Structure 1
């Protein structure tokens, strides 16, 4: 038998070794298969195995760098430590390329080891790929407005909700935290409020699956403690997110049709990467405290004002009557020398949050995986043992066939949240409780009611609020390349969100003087709600390129169904408070609400993208939607957009030496719509009232049949200029936009005699949002040991009601004015305090000699921001990195006069009210004190609704600081990072209220947080 050349045996052994021991380097194995080149090796052509390491300019290994032989398709990918191995001819060239780094071509020149350093590519516009939902597009070639934030930025913020991670970072996106209570929600608006009625939330897409952001909490169960509701987005762990993109203009959003009237937020979770199996452990602990306390009166100031108010009302004699002491216990029976800082007692605690996360990832060139799990436990600043726990599991697996034609990706996220809070928010009591109020507990540790003279705030700890939620989000993306330029794919997703809340109110939480017992008072209200949604979206994508012209065509369909169930039950009359959590022990059960909704949605959509000479781009998108929320003949709507871009920096006039490295003009126009009005609104609907008549359950009418109303429409126009200077080390993007929302779906009030409160229909009303957005990014310094980068964003929004037929004769006449924003409030015009009478004065607009709401609420204030934005700097020196981000807003808000304008009432007030009128001739800003017990003229309620209760609430806030140190290690495969992070650390403002961004004295403001963390990867 003829012997094979010795090189053939070596090649066989080489293949067996890598197939058995390095399956994750499949691409390299395939590249090493005996092809024509390797056969030539056996016949004398000299070829060798080349090894090496790829690092950055600081010597750090780079994983995932593509190494390709220039003369063939053979390639390899660097491992975790930056190493690679590849077969190449001695006279060949190797091409090294990686996202964010300059591509280098290196001649082999007979070498067997090649170590190189890749320089960071500042000009990254071609490489930065943005998620546009149904397709991806480079930063350079996008025709729409897509704002993005990456994991690198989000990981530097100690937050538990994805919206908190992008607060202040993106232009055109205004986010406000509704409460500092763990598990609370956030309000988000993308380019303002578009519709008179309905929610302003954008469409949220998580890994291709629509995700409902609206809370399913029932107001009767938890409105007092959780504020704006429990945010379903809390179920998404920010550390599991790879990027968040916000689609804003018509070009970016029209492909989502009616679901995108308020913008689109795309959340992409992390995926596995090829290479050695990698473990990441992340541990952190946070401390949180209220950042600002109100300056309230002390005991002596408070009692002085109280006695003065009683005297001013002519009740001084009654104050001396012992039989009437129960009217003013704060003066007569409580210790007049006692002082308690109730802010410190009730909201002055320290909230602790501990977080632990472990993930494992890796895979081969064909199959990659990632599995992560995390657990978070958080307490509150309130007294008691309230706590919030959250457990997350996230997994992702991706696979492609050897020829790359078949791909599948499957991701799943599951979260379990358990929130245990007191029955009420202590914040309102902390701001208003008398400074000399009694001690909360007596000597034996029981609630102290001080002879039934006060409502003990600690009684709220007897009430219990609990919320348990379970969230599942799963998505599968399957694709197959029928031809090299034709791909068939389908996205399939399912979400399940279940929320169970309860609020227990035992009789022991009420003053004993009321004579309440478990039998006649104690009650338990439960809310069991669930939202299920599935979606299937088959798509066909065709691409082709001819010399200087390319065409990209996408066609797809959407099939979606969502069901919602909610049942609210109240049990009353328990044998004792120990059985209050058992509804079976209740004497009576009452169904307060029983909702069962179904929503079906279907669509056909498409995109055509044409590109000429890599500089002239036309993008056409369209969608035809069908919704079950409209009646026959109105169920379908058509939406579309056109986007244009001219990359003028590619013109020959701009050479390589030009300071202008990038320049683009783009514009877009199109329409999106909205069906966000709730289910069954075109039908006659009824609800169970919970009451009975002669033993028969009563149905109450809630909606009247109207099949004529249809889609709301939002027409969007945008023009933008994008510039890059100094090889894109300075990037400036400026956008002007104008959105006009028409055919408004509004509830038309009906006479009570009809039995219905309103008729849902389309109003001929137009709301306009326009504005200017500026985004700036710069690399100020970039050297081997020192880097400094800056990012800045600014939004100047404007909102106005352009038209509203019949506004003057409608019930909205007292709320809106044509030509003014939807965010205005109508107020009295305060003229100060009359120096002779000591009473607040107001402008009598209608001249009838009387101040009333019918004709004198004519002063207009707009409470929407005039402008807002953020400024961030990132500085790296060796292994130390410092990131500092400031958020700013120019705005007005209600001040403390909104909640208390007359001194002397029972209950503490800000010390500003101590500067009151005392005698004729005084020119003080606060009217004379009053006890509140008489009909003596008191204009304080008018002052609370006047322009005096609105003041400047602009601020500059140190939103986030992150100091990270990378610990030097001897093992290149081990990374250790220690960091210190701060959130809401400092606020510069003239505003005197609780928080300038959330001026509400009954809800806990956002907390100042400090986090210490450790991250280990190996």
Structure 2
């Protein structure tokens, strides 16, 4: 029944989308003939008075007061003075002629941009040229194929040059040979073109110049459109991926760490392809899945983080139960058993042109229900008019951990455990002789360093080839790429193949069509790397990797003649298989139609299709039968249809209006099928059909759809006063009919004081803009596909009733489930000084989230355990600052500095209809983490560890009254332990950011970038694990290896140490034979909570760019760069672990702050070359 309702809803949404598309496209034929265009010079009327000011000042007045765009050399225009000119309602054409009278300057209008250049001379060289037997003749055009006059065409390494005439034509006579033409013009990017001169012939060239956005009007990608940066009202940060000096890392998020204000990015582990924690402006919801930003690539919202449930379970853990009024909730501290795929791992970073991060409500409200956690807009590279350009990037890298844990060797291990069990025997805990035939003496003589056996120097290789170019009507960009990134754990790696085609064609003056499509395959064979790393740390060092016959050794560390152990990290890494392969098609097709000079229509259809296969084969010790295998097939299908109308019009005297009206439809379907098998006859058998025992692991099919209507209106008066409003209405199948639709409005105002008279004369200030916004966004990331509906599960383990498979209700329906709603206020300022030599941005924001959606625990008497409910509110506030300074700008020396810093604080303000202790039991997935009103959602609440009593070596704790006791808090206050847990810090940093410097001297380039974080805490569970000398029980097989720190355990009265006596009140006093629980290692103590502040040199690059003279003789290259780069070079931190950025429990911001023997990010050395042909 539910499936029928969902399909009906989807069919209706599809019909609505098709109707809107037909209406828009149907209007094309009615409006196609109306292509009138009033020339800018005739249309704009000017009323201004100029008196005793420079020509540059006059042009700036026209630029700001009449919404005009100019291209000019400011220093050149500043040389000329205007004594006195007055215009009343005069045509712009006449005004320009009057201003440029008595100067050698002329103006040319190009697509709404007025270019002011020196007087255009005929198509002949400025320098006298000697007769020669050949010529080069060409025409210079712009982005739209229109001629560009006044372009200087130089012949590299010679005295010859010419200037294009009003038709864009130039001609140069040259001796026979090969040459490089260099084109330059104000407001356009420099162009180089190789040409061959043959005696008696004319070499014909057609050269296209691309507008230099930073020098004219830089376009910023926003939601469903673009906007000039000077008119931007929202808070938007831009990352120019195409300007990365070296090789972009495996995923683009790694390159962005620390470079954007308000955007916190941290790798969750050193496993290749693992997801990163990306959090924009702090916590936006209390649902772990709802704090990741929406990622949109070329207009297509992509699938986010996907936990791959088919991975090896490598955890060992402790568990504790809590009972409150009949509601029994089991809380387990465990290592994560899933690997989170990075959603950007299948995307080629070298295909990316730029990334815009939308942060405030005015920017994100246009994405409605998915905008509260921020939006990342990724734009891929496009071709431009001109001859085909071939770019090649090749690099090879080597990586290894900066350091590894300091562990006991075989003899230290044997001595330590021999003494431990000698002491244990003295207090009456003797073990069976079956386990201890050597009288408690652990064998010595073997010293295996298991980390050395599984850790290697990894090699990674990258190759990317792209071709781009275009004609008068078509542009293209085609790329192919290959990545092979080895993990530093043996037999674990990540391989990616990628291809992209971006193409557009101007079918007519009014109609443009195009496609942006990528096809990628990524295979991650590193899913067992974390298991092997952890296993190598904990494996007993007093046994060899191989036995006397050359086969893998599976023996105990405490008894080499006893039963076999389940673990051999080398065997598991080399013999087991654990990988996932993703095949992904991502892109869209689009059409743009110019209906009027100020009105256009756009439609696009996008897809994100993923086929994924995961396989995990575990090889067990020989005396166990056959091991196990799991295989999962997953299909994800997303369709996105967008239609919109865009309006851009100048009305009257300096009034500019831009508007957008659109509709969007999105649907997603997911299919998952998994099988599981055990007891294979041989390790070589891989197919689950050969397992003796097999069953269905899971089977899932689910659908989701959303329809949206969106609009935006921006108003601007003379670049001085700005206003804007957006509105989006979302309807989602995730919610019941009563709560399906919700609207998300936003409002913004801006003022540009630098355009006012009192600042006009301040030459240092190029622009000063103040802006503010308020708006509403939503978050449906935590609801699942059927969050409001009752959910059922079939018992796949074979339980039956009357020979019929049973089915149970997993979650009761909640028809009252509503959308989360976030209100955001933002105030910001942007300033540009000394013609852009210094630019800075400052933002302050406040964010309030209401009705956060969470899985709520239900009493057992209801027959259910969990239900999705709206039950919490939280506040978020912060400040951001960024600055870029061009410190030195000379011909042979340029030095640029960037710096940004951000601060954020979140507070839980309300928890609905549930007690604090129930929340603690339900949500404390990571030891010391739960929520309290008035505190952060990522706060640590821990028992106060008071160190070791030097008199007797006993561990000590302090309760909430300050009383110190040698009895663990849980035993002192068994009925109310949470009352004595204190706030000990926060996993989220107080401030974070980055700073970098780029130094260019002649052909050399030196670039370094640091990231930093301060004020946050991390729980060093890695140290706790390496202090765990009890294993899972005294009689267990896995007697772990330990940190050398434990050699400093308390031995005699008066000794000062932080390691208690081996047998103490926290472990020996536990009830029950063989109990292993050690309160000193409980993650609810602050014993291992540490300062996670750091400064890290994230990248250091030295490069050499060959100049045109050096490349002339090669006759092959148009550009060439070689470089050497190092990543994660060093880190300054008080953290005693290996990497304060790791997150053992995945990429969610709510789970950060735990290191549980998590693989650290490696140090990497890379050499590479970038070449253009």
Task: Assess, with a 3 A threshold, how the Cα gap between structure 1 residues 415 and 272 changes in structure 2: closer, same or farther.
Answer: same
**1:930 offset after TM fit, Å?**
3.6
Distance change in 2, residues 1:96/1:158 (3 Å): closer
**Structure 2 SS opposite 1:690:** coil
Residue 238 in structure 1 maps to residue 349 in structure 2? yes
State the partner residue of 1:459: 571
Distance in 2 between residues matched to 1:327 and 1:699, nearest whole Å: 53
Are 1:590 and 2:695 counterparts?
Answer: yes
When residues 482 and 444 of structure 1 are mapped into structure 2, their CA distance, relative to the original with a 3 A threshold, is same
2:502 corresponds to 1:502? no
1:773 corresponds to 2:915: no
Q: Secondary structure at the match of 2:1137?
A: coil
1:715-754 superposed matches below 5 A: 715-754=823-862
- Aligned equivalents of 2:1010 and 2:774: distance in 1? 33
Instruction: Report 1:167-178 matches (<5 A).
Output: 167-178=257-268
Q: Paired residue for 1:113?
A: none
1:611 aligns with 2:733: no
2:1017 paired residue among 881, 887, 892: 892
| 2:287 aligned with 1:181 | no
**Residues 1:835 and 1:701: Cα distance change in structure 2 (over 3 Å):** same
Deviations 1:68-94 (A, max 9, x none): 99xx986698999999984439999x9
Tell me the secondary structure at the aligned position of residue 757 of structure 2: coil
How far apart in 1 are the matches of 2:906 and 2:823? 14
Gap change, CA 1:465 and 1:314, over 3 Å in 2: same
CA distance in 2, matches of 1:297, 1:447: 20
- Aligned residue in 1 for 2:1103: 964
Indicate the residue corresponding to 2:59 in structure 1. Answer: none
Once the two structures are superposed, the pairs formed by residues 756-835 of structure 1 within 5 Å of their partners are 756-763=864-871, 765-808=872-915, 811-813=918-920, 815-835=930-950
Q: 1:889 to 1:81 in 2, by over 3 A?
A: farther
Task: Name the CA distance, whole Å, in 1 between partners of 2:660 and 2:770.
Answer: 24
Aligned to 2:187: 98
| Greater displacement, 686-695 / 352-361 | 686-695
Post-superposition offset of 1:402: 5.3
Q: Deviations over 1:612-657 (max 9, x none)?
A: 1211111111100000000012100100111111111111112354
Q: 1:68 touches 1:74 (CA, 8 Å); kept in 2?
A: no
Corresponding residue number in structure 1 for 2:540: 434
8 A Cα contact 1:807 1:813, kept in partner: no
The answer to whether the Cα contact below 8 Å between 2:580 and 2:613 also exists between their aligned partners in 1 is yes
Q: Which moved more, 1:461-470 or 1:753-762?
A: 753-762
Structure 1 position 857 matched with structure 2 position 981: yes
Q: Secondary structure at the match of 1:163?
A: helix
Cα 1:183/1:288, change in 2 over 3 Å: same
Distance 1:84 1:253 in 2: 49
Distance 2:265 2:1003 in 1: 33
Residue 261 of structure 1 is matched in structure 2 by 372
Cα distance in 1 between the residues matched to 2:168 and 2:297: 49
Is the partner of 2:919 in helix, strand or coil? Answer: coil
The DSSP-based 3-state class of the residue aligned with 2:542 is: coil
Q: Considering only aligned residues, what root-mean-square deviation do their CA atoms show, in Å?
A: 3.5
Match status 1:664 vs 2:769: yes
The structure-2 alpha-carbon separation of the partners of 1:524 and 1:727, relative to structure 1 and needing over 3 Å to count, comes to: same
**Residue of structure 1 equivalent to 2:1131:** 987
Which has the larger displacement, 947-956 or 845-854?
Answer: 845-854
Q: Distance in 1 between matches of 2:503 and 2:1019?
A: 50
**Preserved CA contact (<8 Å) 1:435 1:908:** yes
Secondary structure, counterpart of 1:633 in structure 2: helix
* 1:691 to 2:802 alignment: no
Cα contact 2:397–2:1165 (8 A) shared by 1: yes
Q: Distance in 2 between matches of 1:320 and 1:475?
A: 68
Conservation of the 8 A alpha-carbon contact between 2:959 and 2:980: yes
The answer to whether residue 657 in structure 2 is matched with residue 551 in structure 1 is yes
Match of 1:210 in 2: 301
Change (3 A) 1:350 1:545: same
Residue 1166 of structure 2 is aligned to residue 1011 of structure 1: yes
Q: Deviations over 1:775-824 (max 9, x none)?
A: 11000000000111011111111111122234535621562111100001
Find the aligned partners of 2:588 and 2:240 in 1 and give their Cα distance. Answer: 21
Q: So what's the TM-score if we normalise by structure 1?
A: 0.85
Aligned-residue offset at 1:207 = 0.5
Matches within 5 A, 1:142-153: 142-153=232-243
Instruction: State whether structure 2 residue 1086 is matched by structure 1 residue 947.
Output: yes
CA contact (8 A) 2:187 2:215 kept: no
Shift in Å, 1:916: 2.4
- Counterpart secondary structure, 1:653: helix
Contact 2:310 2:615 in 1 (8 A): no
> Contact 2:311/2:339 (CA < 8 Å) preserved in 1?
no
Separation of aligned partners in 1, 2:957 and 2:1139: 28
Q: Spell out, residue by residue over 1:691-720, the C-alpha distance to the aligned partner (whole angstroms, 9 max, x if none).
A: 223443232322211111111001111111
Give 3-state SS (helix, strand or coil) of 1:1010's partner: strand
Which stretch has the larger CA shift, 559-568 or 601-610?
559-568
Going from structure 1 to structure 2, the CA distance change for 1:491 and 1:303 (only over 3 Å counts) comes to same
Q: Which consecutive aligned stretches of 4+ in structure 1 deviate over 6 angstroms post-superposition?
A: 63-69, 76-85, 89-92, 120-123, 222-226, 316-322, 846-849, 931-934
Identify if the C-alpha distance between structure 1 residues 431 and 747 changes in structure 2 by more than 3 Å, giving closer, same or farther: same
Q: Does 1:620 align with 2:725?
A: yes
1:477-521 CA-to-partner distances (Å, cap 9, x unmatched) read: 211111100001112211101111011124xx22x4xx4223xxx
Q: Which of 363, 372, 375 is residue 470 of structure 2 equivalent to?
A: 363
What is the CA distance between 1:137 and its match in structure 2?
1.7
Question: 1:212 aligns to what SS in structure 2?
Answer: coil
Alpha-carbon distance between aligned partners in 2 of 1:121 and 1:605, rounded to the nearest angstrom? 31
SS of 1:254's equivalent? helix
Flag structure 2 segments of 5+ consecutive residues without an equivalent: 1-119, 128-137, 171-182, 192-209, 316-335, 922-929, 964-968, 1032-1038, 1071-1076, 1143-1153
Q: Is the 1:65–1:78 contact (alpha carbons within 8 Å) kept by the matching residues of 2?
A: no
- After superposition, the C-alpha distances for 1:946-979 in whole angstroms (9 at most, x for unaligned) are 1221111211111112222123311495222111
**Deviation at residue 578 of structure 1 after TM alignment:** 2.9
Q: How many residues align?
A: 931
Cα offset, 1:1000, TM superposition: 2.3
Instruction: Evaluate the alpha carbon distance shift between residue 78 and residue 298 of structure 1 in structure 2; reply closer, same or farther with a 3 A threshold.
Output: farther
For the structure 1 residues 707 and 323, does the alpha-carbon distance in structure 2 shift closer, same or farther, using more than 3 Å as the test?
A: closer
Q: Distance in 2 between matches of 1:644 and 1:327?
A: 81
Tell me how far apart the structure 2 counterparts of residues 717 and 771 of structure 1 sit (CA, whole Å). 11
Greater mean deviation of Cα atoms: 449-458 or 320-329? 320-329
The CA deviation at 1:565 is 1.1
In the alignment, structure 1 residue 444 sits paired with structure 2 residue 566: no
**How much has 1:942 moved relative to structure 2?**
5.4
Deviation string, structure 1 residues 146-181 (Cα, Å, up to 9, x no partner) = 111112444524411121121111111111212222
Answer whether contact 1:306 1:931 (CA < 8 A) is retained: no
Change (3 A) 1:922 1:574: closer
What does residue 478 of structure 1 align with? Answer: 591
Residue-by-residue CA offset, 1:132-156 (whole Å, 9 max, x unaligned): 1312122222111111111244452
Question: What is the SS of the residue equivalent to 1:234?
Answer: coil
Closer/same/farther in 2, CA of residues 566 and 987 from structure 1, 3 Å limit = same
Conservation of the 8 A alpha-carbon contact between 1:710 and 1:762: yes
Structure 1 position 923 matched with structure 2 position 1056: yes
Q: What is the match of residue 755 of structure 1?
A: 863
Q: Deviations over 1:6-27 (max 9, x none)?
A: xxxxxxxxxxxxxxxxxxxxxx
Deviations 1:355-381 (A, max 9, x none): 111111111132111111011122222
2:391 to 239, 255, 280: 280
2:738 aligns to what SS in structure 1? coil
> How far is the alpha carbon of 1:527 from its aligned partner?
1.0
Cα distance, 1:939–1:445 mapped onto 2, change above 3 Å: closer
Q: Residues 234, 155 of structure 1: CA spacing in aligned structure 2 closer, same or farther, 3 A cutoff?
A: farther
Q: 2:374 and 2:1012 mapped to 1: Cα distance?
A: 23
Match of 2:249 among 136, 159, 169: 159
Matched, 1:567 2:658: no
* CA contact 2:251–2:349 (8 Å) conserved in 1: yes
Is contact 2:527–2:578 with CA below 8 Å preserved after alignment? yes
1:902, 1:926 within 8 Å by CA — same for their partners in 2? no
